[in-house]
Amino acid sequence: MKPPLKIAIAGLGTVGGGVVALLRRNAALLERHAGRKLELVGVSARDRKRDRGIDLGGVAWHDDPVAMAAAPGIDVVVELIGGSDGAAAKVVTAALEKSRHVVTANKALLAHHGTELALLAESKGVTLAFEAAVAGGIPILKALREGLGANRILRVCGILNGTCNYILTQMRETRRDFAAVLAEAQSLGYAETDPSFDIDGIDTAHKLALLAAVAFGSAVDFAGVHVEGIRHVSALDIDFAQDLGYRIKLLGLARMTEHGLEQRVHPCMVPLAAPLARVEGVHNAVMVEADFAGTVTLEGRGAGAEPTASAVVADILDIATGRGAPGFALPASVLARQPSAPIARHRGAYYVRLMVVDRPGVIADITAAFRDESVSMEQMLQRGRRPGEAVPIVLTTHETEEAAMLRAMARIEALNTVLEKPRTIRVENL
């Protein structure tokens, strides 16, 4: 039997504790799968005295995670500190410089520095693995690298943030507004005290940048992701979506276009019949369109101690057995620097909600703005009549270019009969 694989973990929060628990509980199973023992030899965290409810017997404690990463006798460093810079970046860099394999769940670090870290790992002949950084326990990166490796990927899209999916699900099921559901999500621990990272789409954008890099063989380009959150989605929009045959989901979407790599994060109208429309609560799901395999959808728990620990230890198993493939599917040295497709060149259909004064001529002014920009309307809804008062009007368009849609919306917003900023949501026919 091969000698034990010696593992050190930096960060003992929810996920770090889950990794320790999994390594302990399934030790015999993991040894059979790996053909060698997976031995936890070191840990580092900020509070040595805290009771984490995990067995750390026989494991060396390091007050300095960077020194631990460079210490002798370690084969794999697991970085679970988090953050795009600071201690996490120092730990990963120190480990790679010392030719240790690295496993991380840190999507922010990789979204900002993934390509350069992959190049460093490649130069040292070690693995940089990060399955847990995207969609928790869903093995989507492995599916892209291996199961779909013979295919040209046409599009990837997914629900990549459980907090947003929970909020949108609860808004629909309880008919409450965003603020009330967000407060409840915070009280239940599904949303942070400062939820902006989730609800403004940044977390999803980090994950999408990694998904797109693996799917399209490109260097990580977080700066090229167009990002919108869900703060502006109202209960009224969710009701109208249902009437029109859609559900609203925050999606991350990427595809190659004639203008370059298109990466978008924003709320979407998703047809009720689409698999992603039926993904509820805190679950994540990713849909991949491939030229030979067709459409593949994976769904599961996207966060939490157990599913994320499962992904971390799966990466450790690959390293233990020598299956460690390049994290971005291709050698880092050949990852392409793709141009970013401008969001203004995106083509698609749109949902629009307007609050207007109910009086003659309003609809004619709106349709004229669309006509002049060659935007074709598909359908229109108006609930009730209140002459002289405010009423909501909802319409959907046929496919058009975003730049034309923006010009039409600017003209409509300037009408004195339009009382609020128009709300637009892109329609994705998945």
**128 and 148 assigned to the same domain:** no
The DSSP code for 272 is T
Cα separation of 84 and 82, whole Å? Answer: 7
How many secondary structure helices (H) and strands (E) does the chain include? 14, 17
Question: Minimal CA–CA distance to 204: which of 243, 170, 165, 236?
Answer: 165
Buried b / exposed e along 128-150 (16+ C-beta atoms within 10 A):
bbbbbbbbbbbbbbbbbbeebee
Question: What length does the chain have?
Answer: 430
Q: For residue 307, is it within any domain?
A: no
**350 and 337 assigned to the same domain:** no
Domain range for 25: 5-133
**31 and 125 assigned to the same domain:** yes
**116 and 171 assigned to the same domain:** no
Q: What is the mean pLDDT of residues 378-399?
A: 85
pLDDT, tens digit, for every residue of 69-94? Answer: 999 999 999 999 999 989 999 999 99
**237 and 381 assigned to the same domain:** no
Cα separation of 164 and 158, whole Å? Answer: 12
Task: State pTM to two decimals.
Answer: 0.94
Cα separation of 227 and 205, whole Å? Answer: 7
Question: Minimal CA–CA distance to 255: which of 296, 284, 289, 221?
Answer: 289
Question: Minimal CA–CA distance to 268: which of 241, 243, 287, 292?
Answer: 241
Q: Write down the pLDDT at residue 384.
A: 65
Q: For residue 308, is it within any domain?
A: no
Q: What is the mean pLDDT of residues 205-218?
A: 97
Cα separation of 412 and 246, whole Å? Answer: 24
Of the three residues 112, 133, 154, the one that is the final residue of a domain is: 133
Which SS3 state, helix, strand or coil, does residue 174 take? helix
Identify the weakest region by mean pLDDT among 21-25, 82-86, 199-203: 82-86
Q: What is the DSSP string of 194-249?
A: S-HHHHTSHHHHHHHHHHHHHHHTB---GGGEEE--STT--HHHHHHHHHHTEEEE
**298 and 358 assigned to the same domain:** no
Question: What CATH number has the domain bearing residue 337?
Answer: 3.30.360.10
Q: What is the mean pLDDT of residues 21-50?
A: 93
- Amino acid residing at 170: Q
Cα separation of 269 and 251, whole Å? Answer: 10
Which SS3 state, helix, strand or coil, does residue 45 take? coil
**352 and 237 assigned to the same domain:** no
Angle formed at CA 28 by CA 22 and CA 31, multiple of 5 degrees: 95
Q: What is the mean pLDDT of residues 394-406?
A: 96
User: Is 207 annotated as catalytic?
Assistant: yes
The residues that bridge with 302 in the sheet, in sequence order, are: none
Q: Mean pLDDT across the chain, nearest whole number?
A: 94
Could you tell me the maximum CA-CA distance found in the chain, to the nearest angstrom?
84
pLDDT, tens digit, for every residue of 280-304? Answer: 999 999 999 999 999 999 999 888 8
Q: What is the mean pLDDT of residues 317-344?
A: 92
Question: What CATH number has the domain bearing residue 82?
Answer: 3.40.50.720
Other C-beta atoms lying within 10 Å of the C-beta of residue 108:
21
Question: Which one of the listed residues 37, 49, 107, 207 is annotated catalytic?
Answer: 207
**146 and 268 assigned to the same domain:** yes
Question: What CATH number has the domain bearing residue 359?
Answer: 3.30.70.260
Q: Write down the pLDDT at residue 2.
A: 87
**289 and 387 assigned to the same domain:** no
**259 and 330 assigned to the same domain:** yes
Q: For residue 316, is it within any domain?
A: no
Query: Within a 13 Å sphere around the CA of 247, how many CA atoms are in the beta-carbon half?
Result: 22
Q: Are 42 and 9 in contact (CB under 8 A)?
A: yes
Q: For residue 221, is it within any domain?
A: yes
Q: Are 10 and 90 in contact (CB under 8 A)?
A: no
Q: For residue 362, is it within any domain?
A: yes
Q: For residue 30, is it within any domain?
A: yes
Q: Strand order in 60-61's β-sheet?
A: 60-61, 38-44, 5-10, 76-79, 101-104, 128-129
pLDDT, tens digit, for every residue of 150-195? Answer: 999 999 999 999 999 999 999 999 999 999 999 998 998 888 889 9
Res. 207: pLDDT tops 70? yes
**129 and 163 assigned to the same domain:** no
Of the three residues 343, 372, 402, the one that is the final residue of a domain is: 343
Q: For residue 311, is it within any domain?
A: no
Res. 22: pLDDT tops 90? yes
Q: Where are the beta strands (DSSP E) in 50-146?
A: 60-61, 76-79, 101-104, 128-129
**272 and 356 assigned to the same domain:** no
What's the structural domain count of the chain?
Answer: 3
For the record, the structure tokens of 28 come out as: 């015999």
Of the three residues 103, 133, 163, the one that is the final residue of a domain is: 133
Cα separation of 373 and 362, whole Å? Answer: 18
